[in-house]
A and B are shown apart, each in its own frame.
Chain A
């Protein structure tokens, strides 16, 4: 696009001529102490809590500790040029971020400044990053699913729109992978995703963004990044900024492919590092340390964030904001301070374990202790039908698994149960970046729970699965289509599915 320089000049000329020459009156203070990204400012008597402050050189700060004579503030940016005696001005604005349509597909920092190479972000609206969560009057219960595309989750630990489901596990157990798969699966599903990376290596973030782009998932995603090299205050702000962007979608909506979308999914990756950043800030601001040196309000830190996830009722636009917080545990210790806090705030958790991961079960879900407290209300009818026997069979399999080595001495009923469990465990395994549409999930789970996989050798189950999908797509597209549209598994549909499975089994096992 060619830009005519005389046009620019005339715009600037009119801006200069029309410039308001009035004097400006602002509340000011003086820096008396600065260091570690924290500044104590004497004066600023009119400062608001979490107001943006302006340091010399355009560096911004946030007022946090409002004391009798001084204000403790964190510096949001490069603090190296700020020195004692500098004048600090209030701005009259609390910390806010740009929100809206223009952010889709972008990578931004917690103040909404672009970090990618796609140019300036021209949003018209901003929102304060901190806001009180919507009240009960405006909410309704969860009734629409978030399809993650992961069989084990959609069937056993279903997540509803507006729910808060924690993903918890040690390092390297596939926590982020689950979130990314869920984001990839939202392509064309009418759900905008916000991925908030807190305290991660920039190389990891770049990789994640590249993955999203590769699978065409970046168009419906906003990535908010406060990397490991960013100061603690920015890491602290990141999830609230992401949440504010999500609230805009929940309340106002955005356009995707000609449709207005009012559902958002916010992934906070991860809140352990967020708590660390907040601890760092709080200790530097000399707030008294409590358990594990976290400040006293570390519970409120996460509860006020996660409480902003909501499903609004019809009078309020029927939007939703789903939260998928991630917590990294140390050596599977879920009874540490932050994990217990977040477990108690969320509506359920997905537990990932190193042992399962190493045993080849991926995603490494511990189905026994993972729960979803509200999501089952949102499950589709078809999924409910196949999930019930799946849950039961897997639970029985777990209780019997210890006897598996005595297989020859067991009665037939027990042996059958063990076989069924083995096949089912094989079926819920799923490779990364391969989210599955819900109709295919129902089809394969139906096959497995009705015992039609029992005589397929376990190593061939994966092969059966992939070929079965191909068979259905080629030979019986109507079944998948109807399952996808009606989302119910009627008796007639089950019958035609039975027939299709039988036909396929004959060719596969021949």
Chain B
């Protein structure tokens, strides 16, 4: 997970304030994520970070890379970051922007980790439970981690619901160790 710095949060908030009145939140989000992916690419980053390259040339590269894929306002943000030598913030800006959009729309992100792939029915059941618990729209992400042995864990924001076999075994171990003390 990229750590959102305060600076990234400020850029994201500014972009959000531009995008919201235009009703173009979705387009912005999509474009920011595209741009973040391209700029975050190792090869591209190396070229753009090269201090020997004159700023005009860098602007041109950015224009060529992103010009056709993203609209003018988003490109402006990318150029602004480039001019301030803060292009490495772009992925965090995108993450932060997504968070702001979700917050505005009352969407919660939940990560479901299970030992084996969940069937559609199971996913739907988990979604229903999380919706009931949080009272919000839920965007569900599924991760498979065989280390859990069985069961699943659901992470909503900073809360982790642990119903995995591994978690239970760990708690059983703690209890047994505590009992012998």
Contacts and interface: CB of A to CB of B under 8 A. Distances in A.
Interface residues of A, number: 31
B158 A45 contact: yes
Given A15-B176, A25-B162, A122-B181, A45 B1 contact: no
A16 B172 contact: yes
Given A21-B168, A85-B1, A122-B181, A27 B158 contact: yes
A101 interface: no
Contacts of A26: 159-160, 162
Contact of A15 (B155, B162, B179): B179
Contact of A43 (B158, B161, B168, B171): B158
A25 B6 CA distance: 29
B146 interface: no
A423 interface: no
A24 B167 contact: yes
B3 interface: yes
A25 B1 contact: no
A70 B159 CA distance: 15
B11 to A, nearest CB: 15
Contacts of B149: none
Interface stretch (A28-36, A157-165, A295-303): A28-36
B125 interface: no
Nearest to B152: A23
Interface in A65-90: 68-70, 85, 87, 89
A40 B181 CA distance: 32
A89 B153 CA distance: 13
Contact of A25 (B4, B159, B175, B181): B159
Contact of A42 (B3, B172, B179, B180): B3
Contacts of B168: 19, 21
B163 interface: yes
Interface string A1-17: 00000000001100110
Contacts of A136: none
A251 to B, nearest CB: 24
Contacts of B4: 42, 69
B93 to A, nearest CB: 14
B162 A24 contact: yes
Contacts of A45: 157-158
A28 B155 contact: yes
A23 B3 contact: no
Interface in B63-115: none
Contacts of A19: 168, 171-172, 175
Contacts of A33: 3
A21 B155 CA distance: 19
B1 A30 contact: yes
Nearest to B169: A19
A16 B172 CA distance: 7
Interface string B118-138: 000000000000000000000
Contacts of A510: none
B163 A23 contact: yes
A26 B156 CA distance: 11
A62 interface: no
Contacts of B160: 25-28, 87, 89
A24 B181 contact: no
B20 to A, nearest CB: 22
Nearest to B167: A24
Contacts of A16: 172
A46 interface: yes
A120 interface: yes
A152 interface: no
A20 B43 CA distance: 52
Contacts of B175: 15, 19
Interface in A303-323: none
Contacts of B172: 15-16, 19
A318 to B, nearest CB: 33
Contact of B162 (A23, A40, A70): A23
A23 B158 contact: no
Interface in B2-22: 3-4, 6
A324 to B, nearest CB: 31
Interface string A200-219: 00000000000000000000
Contacts of B163: 23
A44 interface: yes
B158 A32 contact: no
A24 B1 contact: no
Interface centre among B6, B172, B179 (most CB of A within 10 A): B172
A11 B171 CA distance: 17
28 contacts: A12-B176, A15-B172, A15-B175, A15-B176, A15-B179, A19-B171, A21-B168, A23-B163, A24-B161, A25-B161, A27-B158, A27-B160, A28-B159, A30-B1, A32-B1, A40-B3, A42-B1, A42-B3, A43-B157, A43-B158, A44-B158, A69-B3, A70-B3, A87-B160, A89-B160, A120-B181, A121-B181, A122-B181
